[in-house]
Amino acid sequence: MLVELSIHNIVLIEKLELAFQNGLTVLSGETGAGKSMLLDSLALVLGARSDSSLVRKGCSQAAVSAQFRIASEHPLRKNLAEHGLNISDNEDILIRRIINKDAKSKAFLQDNPISVSFLKRVGQQLVDIQGQFDQSRLLDSSTHRTLFDAFAKLGEQNSLVAERWQHAQSAREQHTLAQQQAEQAAHDADFTRHAVAELDALDPQKDEEQNLEAERNLLNNAEQLRQSLTLAHAILAGEENTLDAGAESLLEKTLALLAKQQKLAAEILQPIVGAVESALNSAQEARSLLQDAVEKTHFDAERLQLLEERLHALRSVARKHRIPCDQLPNLSLQLQRRMEIIQDDSAELQRLDALAHDAEQAYDTAAQELSQARGEAKQPFEEQINALLPSLKLEQARFEIHLQPTAPGAAGLESITFRIATLANYAPDKLHKIASAGELSRVLLAVSVTLADTGLAGSLVFDEVDSGIGGATASAVARQLRRLAHKRQILVITHSPQVAAWGQQQFRVEKRQGENGTTTRVVALDSHARREEVARMLAGATITEQAREAAQSLMNAADSEASEETTSLR
């Protein structure tokens, strides 16, 4: 249940601290006093979208905090523990939300920062603001399935059906894609087969184009290179047609001269002799290598022709497939795999089709079980709603659940629609065709009472559920709200004195003009102030003694009837 609500700098609310009790709490006040600000503040601390317009004028930020008390076995404790937030059994939950002027916000749980999305999931387990299923949304048939399945406690079955639907869809998509690929491959089979044969015959190798280019360049320049190598050999060897003695001959003469003088200056000449000997050996080796290079370097016209033809063949095939030559080996592998798919696609398609069929069967089984469970829950839900309608002054009304078979989907095999007839001898039809605003409010309340034991949220908020009704009908609505308050904490915003009379706790929302401008404040009412407020709701601006007496009479009757009902429940 909601224990405390603290609001700072939200629109007209400067500072507000409210303490709540269990049971039925009524919030009343004149139109425009600021009751909606309380709802906006509560929604904000439960994860609603932040809006800079909520920040009080002249303030840099606004803040709302709420304290909740939940049972030790409440599933929220386990959910929080899974996120590293361990709350002891006797510890209340404290949530805080701060909004800056730029609409950016921060959220905290037990002073630990949390994401707004996580806050929203937590909030849904703490408070159910009836605006989520208000009159306009009650007209939306997609809401009906959610409400009905909640009554039937089909959450796990719903999840299983949705999961198997996604699995079946994915498996069938894989089969369809493989089938399309196989059909395309079969359509291109002749081309693929020809391309594979052509590439097999060509047998392109890695880096072959570059290697062939290098060898072709060498052959094209072979004669010029041979001449240069021959001249280098002649210069080194000192052959007849060179102008000077060769380097090798000069080194030999130098070594002989030094050898003659080595005895006279051995220490000086020994390193020089070693260096000259090394140079002579290198010169002899270089001459030998040049000789080999000259013998190997010659122009081979036949080889050049073969290189040109090979390069042309590689480049021609590469152009045909619009790829560089160096990608031809990979293309060959890809085309071979495609041929394997064409040849083996039948077995693979059968395997994928079998997987898809199994997934579809699993979905169908789960969906059929969900449909059966919905069929079994239909009558109990209708009976409970119809049993409540007379107490809400809808004596002739008849409520029905319409289960209409639909195409399979993530939500199962049927659509679910609420239908009602408000007069005897009329067939039930869709809510928007039959019910008035006041009737919708009472149907909504009947649904809420029926679902009282199904929700995790310990607190339920109604925003003007008594809209469009009054008198005995409003009293009937109040009576059901009080009954509902035996199971959950109920907060109701109302303009109805009949509803206010049934409250166990009451706050009046009012505007005040002060030094800081117009502000909204909320006043907790004692029994005397409650009578004055109910009298104001009956009489308007001028409260008469007759109005006070009528108010006291309403409150006494409500207390008396509530006391009798509490006794009977025991």
φ, ψ for residue 479 (rounded to 5)? -60, -45
Residue 172 and residue 349: Cα distance in Å, rounded? 11
Who contacts 56 (Cβ-Cβ below 8 Å, separation ≥6)? 9, 10, 11, 12, 13, 14, 62
DSSP, collapsed to helix, strand or coil, labels residue 488 as coil
Task: With a cut of 80, say whether residue 327 has pLDDT above it.
Answer: yes
User: Which is more confident, 410 or 198?
Assistant: 410
Task: With a cut of 80, say whether residue 503 has pLDDT above it.
Answer: yes
pLDDT for the residue numbered 294: 55
Q: How many CB atoms lie within 10 A of CB 18?
A: 19
Structural contact between residues 68 and 121, judged by C-beta atoms closer than 8 angstroms: no
* Mean pLDDT of the region 256-272: 58
Structural contact between residues 527 and 548, judged by C-beta atoms closer than 8 angstroms: no
* Mean pLDDT of the region 529-549: 90
**pLDDT band with cut points at 50, 70 and 90 for residue 96:** very high
pLDDT for the residue numbered 310: 85
User: Which is more confident, 139 or 113?
Assistant: 113
* Mean pLDDT of the region 315-331: 88
Phi-psi region of 225 (alpha: psi -120 to 50; beta: other; left: phi over 0): alpha
User: Which is more confident, 300 or 540?
Assistant: 540
User: Which is more confident, 128 or 152?
Assistant: 152
pLDDT for the residue numbered 157: 95
φ, ψ for residue 63 (rounded to 5)? -145, 145
* Mean pLDDT of the region 402-419: 94
Extract the tokens encoding 358: 């199994």
Structural contact between residues 425 and 363, judged by C-beta atoms closer than 8 angstroms: no
pLDDT for the residue numbered 168: 96
pLDDT tens sequence across 18-38: 999 999 999 998 888 888 889
Residue 559 and residue 242: Cα distance in Å, rounded? 134
> Measuring CA to CA, which residue among 212, 236, 240, 222 is closest to residue 294?
222
**pLDDT band with cut points at 50, 70 and 90 for residue 222:** low
pLDDT tens sequence across 443-499: 888 887 888 766 657 788 888 777 767 788 888 888 888 888 888 899 999 888 999
Task: With a cut of 50, say whether residue 72 has pLDDT above it.
Answer: yes
